[in-house]
Amino acid sequence: MREHDPDLILYVVDQRQHLHFEQVFRCARKGGLSGRAALEHIGHGTVNGNDGKPFKTRAGGVMKLYDLLAMATDEAMKRLSEQGLAADYSDEERARVAKAVGLAAIKFADLSNNRVSSYVFDLDRFTRFEGKTGPYLQYAAVRIKSILRKAQSEGHGAAAPVIASEEERRLALQLLTMTEALLAAEHKRAPNQICDFVFTLAQNFSRFYTEHHILSEGDESLRAARLGLCALTLAQIERMLGLLGIEVPERM
């Protein structure tokens, strides 16, 4: 309070400490210690083992973050091999992609849950390229990047989207709601709102991609409009993942 005189202070601590912070905040207000600042406890659930019990750092039963990230990177490398991804890359680039995928798996798994809900730590599930995972969203973005790169190499330009089908309409309507998702995440102090938005966006793009020709579309104006929709979708996926601290590789 002396150094910063903030308007708002957020305490990000286990939800089980809620009563403690309610008491601390009440004392701070009564004692005139909190000034003009609003005090909020941003409680969160616990990360549980397969036995359903929370990991206990003080009991010494939790691995160090360095070891956790190394394990996630190794698991991501295994997944890349299983999917036949990054097979022809140099060892250095392959290692970079594996690290980005491993970090995405951990971050998205943690942030995609309702903030106050507990969850079971399952690295095998978190690193899959299917389902609601960080790697799935990275792959969705990389696929769009590949489409746009190929379009550029073939001399195809992008234009403003033209909504001519239900899939295009659904995708375009969701693109228009990004601001609402961000405001909801801020208002509710809930990063999972961003996760839900970007996952649904990737699913809607997948439906659009499945039902429509893009690069192979013979009508030049229609192809340009669909490429424009691809570019807008990629921009939003990258922006939302960036807010979650997740990097999208250029290729996989």
Residue pLDDT tens, the chain, 252 long: 889 999 999 999 999 999 999 999 999 999 999 999 999 999 998 888 877 777 765 555 666 888 888 999 999 999 999 999 988 899 999 999 999 999 999 999 999 999 888 888 888 999 999 999 999 999 999 999 999 999 999 999 999 999 999 999 999 999 999 999 999 999 999 999 999 999 999 999 999 999 999 999 999 999 999 999 999 999 999 999 999 999 999 999
Whether pTM > 0.85 for this model: the answer is yes
User: Residue 67's pLDDT is what?
Assistant: 86
Q: Give the torsion sign (CA, 190, 194, 197, 203).
A: negative
pLDDT for the residue 51:
75
**H-only helix segments in the chain:** 18-30, 65-83, 91-111, 123-126, 134-153, 166-175, 178-188, 192-211, 220-243
**Domains located in the chain, CATH noted:** 8-43 (no CATH), 65-243 (1.10.730.10)
Distance (Å) of CA 48 to CA 52, 54, 61, 134, 221? 5, 4, 12, 19, 52
For 86, residues 6+ apart whose C-beta sits below 8 A from its C-beta are 80, 93, 94, 97, 98, 251, 252
> In whole angstroms, what is the distance from residue 46 CA to residue 54 CA?
6
pLDDT at 62: 66
